[in-house]
Amino acid sequence: MLASPKRESYFNGLMGRSGLILAIIAKTNSIPMIKLLSMLSLVTLPLNTLRAEPLPGFSAVYNNRKSAVVIKWQHTPGNIKTYIVQQSTDAKTWTDIALQAFTEPVEPRSFYFEHKNMSTGQNYYRLKAIYPDGRTLYSLEVLVMIGALDKSWVIYPVPVTDLLTLEYRGTEMIKGVINVTIQQPAGKLFTKLRYASLSRQIRIPLDNLPKGIYDIRIVVLGEVIWDQRFVK
């Protein structure tokens, strides 16, 4: 039921029930595993395209234990017939990395995807939803910063509860004050904190933070060194 290419990504989904079709867009050393969508990397926007909508529950979080970006979203009843997960390193040129299609209406359910072929630095993710009439909807973009092993941060627990922990597991010395911000994808700022450069574990109480989707960012000396989206 599940395909696991050695060098790209795999998709853990539900298939067989309710007519679900699971398709993986993946590359091996030679040819694409599934020649679907022609592996187009450049996305153009037709007139019937809508952008930057908060599709339900879409999140992308780096999981240190799995060494992968874990992507999740929630399917709700509606006319969407196809979901496509896309990844980019510059938020301009996008690559399709997985597809979930329906042959008939299905009940609400969650979908899960692990992307293991990330790039060091900026990795953007978004979800593309296609309606039967050809209309296309894009989720808000999620930025996941993948640091070098000597500069890595992790967040836990996932999903986040009332106490969020950031832990620095890198070996390189942090050369400035650690600035942490938490905001909504639309830009509304909820929390702005500062910590000493020697801090290796940061605990942030979130009991007063409403349930929702948030972006947490670490900035040192004016440079974003880590950025992650989480769901509470």
Overall pTM surpassing 0.75 (yes/no): no
What are the tens digits of pLDDT across the range 199-214? 999 999 999 999 888 8
Q: Of 219, 65, 57, 34, which is closest to residue 155 (Cα–Cα)?
A: 65
**159: preceding bond cis by omega (within 30 degrees):** yes
What are the tens digits of pLDDT across the range 70-110? 999 988 767 788 999 999 998 899 999 999 998 887 888 89
Q: 3-class secondary structure for the chain?
A: CCCCCCCCCEEECCCCHHHEEEEECCECCCCECCCCHHHCCCCCCCCCEEEEECCCCCEEEEECCCCEEEEEEEECCCCCCEEEEEEECCCCCCEEEEEEEECCCCCCEEEEEEECCCCCEEEEEEEEEECCCCCEEEECCEEEEECCHHHCEEEECCCCCCEEEEEECCCCCCCCCEEEEEECCCCCEEEEEEECCCCCEEEEECCCCCCCEEEEEEEECCEEEEEEEEEC
What are the tens digits of pLDDT across the range 127-167? 999 988 888 999 888 888 776 655 678 888 877 889 999 99
Q: Of 120, 12, 131, which is closest to residue 71 (Cα–Cα)?
A: 12
Distance between CA atoms of 167 and 8, rounded to whole angstroms?
27
Domains in the chain, CATH or no CATH each:
10-144 (2.60.40.10), 148-231 (2.60.40.10)
Q: How confident is the model at residue 148, as a pLDDT?
A: 64
Q: How confident is the model at residue 192, as a pLDDT?
A: 95
